[in-house]
């Protein structure tokens, strides 16, 4: 069974803090993705990575950065958290050339106060 884990289920941070969200997958997948999900807006792609040290901007990268130093780990960084970044963050992974089924982690509910 593919397993995608995220470091926290719930996180509360203050405006201006630097926030790290970690995602780890145990199936040697090449592609990893970070989404945020907001009511009425669905899942929106923030960043994705198709290999170690490689990254590509998604649809809403502003205010975020990512790091992928190891194949199994993809980190999302909020450089200076703002209240409009309060959201559910979902990580997903898929093998290269896979059937496009993205395996999702359990999500991190981030609240910025």
Partner 1 sequence: QKEVEQNSGPLSVPEGAIASLNCTYSDRGSQSFFWYRQYSGKSPELIMFIYSNGDKEDGRFTAQLNKASQYVSLLIRDSQPSDSATYLCAVSPGGYNKLIFGAGTRLAVHP
Q: Which window, 18-26, 61-69, 77-85, 91-99, contacts partner 1 (CB under 8 A)?
A: 91-99
Query: What's the Cα-to-Cα distance from 63 to each of 20, 40, 51, 66, 78, rounded to whole Å?
Result: 13, 21, 22, 11, 6
Closest listed residue to residue 59, CA positions, set 41, 40, 78: 41
Contact pattern from residue 71 through residue 90 relative to partner 1, giving x for each residue in contact according to CB under 8 A and a dash for the rest: -------------------x
Query: Contact residues for partner 1 (CB under 8 A)?
Result: 31, 33, 35, 40-45, 48, 50, 56, 58, 90, 94, 96, 98-102, 104-107
């Amino acid at each position: 069974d593919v397993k995608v884990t995220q470091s926290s289920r719930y996180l509360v941070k203050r405006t201006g803090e630097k926030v790290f969200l970690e995602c780890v997958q145990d199936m040697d997948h090449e592609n990893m993705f970070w989404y945020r999900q907001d009511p009425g807006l669905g899942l929106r792609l923030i960043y994705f990575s198709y290999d170690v040290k490689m990254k590509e901007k998604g649809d809403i990268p502003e205010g975020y950065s990512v790091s992928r130093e190891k194949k199994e780990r993809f980190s999302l960084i909020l450089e200076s958290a703002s209240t409009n970044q309060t959201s559910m963050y979902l990580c997903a992974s898929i093998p290269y050339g896979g059937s496009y089924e993205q395996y999702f982690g359990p999500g991190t509910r981030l609240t910025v106060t």
